[in-house]
Structure 1
Amino acid sequence: MRVQTAKLRRTLKSEAEFVFVEGALEQTYIDPAVAARFDGPFLSWYDVEHDAYEGTREPAAYLRALMDESVTVRYPHAEEAMTRLEEAVERHRPDTLLGFSQGAILITLLTAAHLAAGRPPSWSHNVLVCGMPVRANAFAPLFSAPLDFPATVAQGRDDPFYEWCRQLAGQYASAEYLEFPDGHRFPHGQADTDALADSLPRH
């Protein structure tokens, strides 16, 4: 995330302090392009399992499974991940939670759990980059209605999961939605980075 957010952090300069929190699970599958550019370990927040197919991580098949409502999806270790993120929030007391990909899903899940329990989140805004809707069947009751919480959803139009990712905004009642001409990554262009920076609340 430090590399991914470098341009955003330069844009915001002294307006924002970034605190980075990582998952604790070592990933079993690494995108070859990612493995070629970065040293490990490669960590995730939780696992994803579903009953649509076995033995392949081919993106198109994975996307079909996520978008097929007849497929049961599970997030092993998601509860532990929520606890880990909750502890970090309590420790650092951020104004905004910024998440990329799986981190954006986890932030949405933690927000939904707070609202369902009648405990308004202590933070004021979610910024979610290249995230996906929460899909695990066990958490479906948390999303019987869109979340009434401020959020910015930013999505790359060249993301291989674009059609699914763009639906994350629908899990919020009134999310600001941004698109940029990149893939599954933070926006590269300065104008798109500026738009993302402008979405963060100022105090």
Structure 2
Amino acid sequence: MIISGEKLVISGAIILAIGAVVEGIGQTESSFTGTDLGKDLIVEGNSVEAFGNSLQAVGRTLLLNDKREVTPSELYTITGAWLEAAGNTGNAVGISIELSGLEEDGILIDTLGSEVQGLGAGLEAYGAYISEDSNFRALGILGNGLISFGSFVVAIGNIFILNNFRDKGDLILFIGSWLQVIGSFILIFAINKEFVT
């Protein structure tokens, strides 16, 4: 059975959104209780997001097999998806380390993961920006832009926590997580317009 690149990209976007919601729910629980409650969901959500990003990267790479020349837009988008997968993996590892008792080390790794994820989503947004005009371009820019911004907001929240401003940091983490959820759902619409219509 051969799976097309389009199906992998669409499936990856849906899986990414599911992971973002799971992470958002976990972050909400953790932020509003001020405890580690929900952090297991954050780990699981980030792991699911990493899988979704990987599917998108593989799917977009398969789509290149039919072309002779790779556009800069495609290169930025594929590279961005792989960076997002790496960043989400870093988030999952960081939170797992934090839960094992090494809080500061875990938060540092989680922060780095969020920064890498933000960079990846930013590259994808830029890839959409420089792509040819299309009916999905604006949604691709907006969705990836929100994921990128939300990832950097999460990194800032972690920095607040590391500097003993836990209440403010938890609120910032909550906001960043849900910005990523919104962005991931916008991406589903963008990718649907790209491949279905």
After TM superposition, the score normalised by the length of structure 2 is 0.29
Larger fraction in strand: 1
After TM superposition, the score normalised by the length of structure 1 is 0.29
Larger fraction in helix: 2
Q: Which has the higher contact order (CA 8 A, sep 6+)?
A: 2
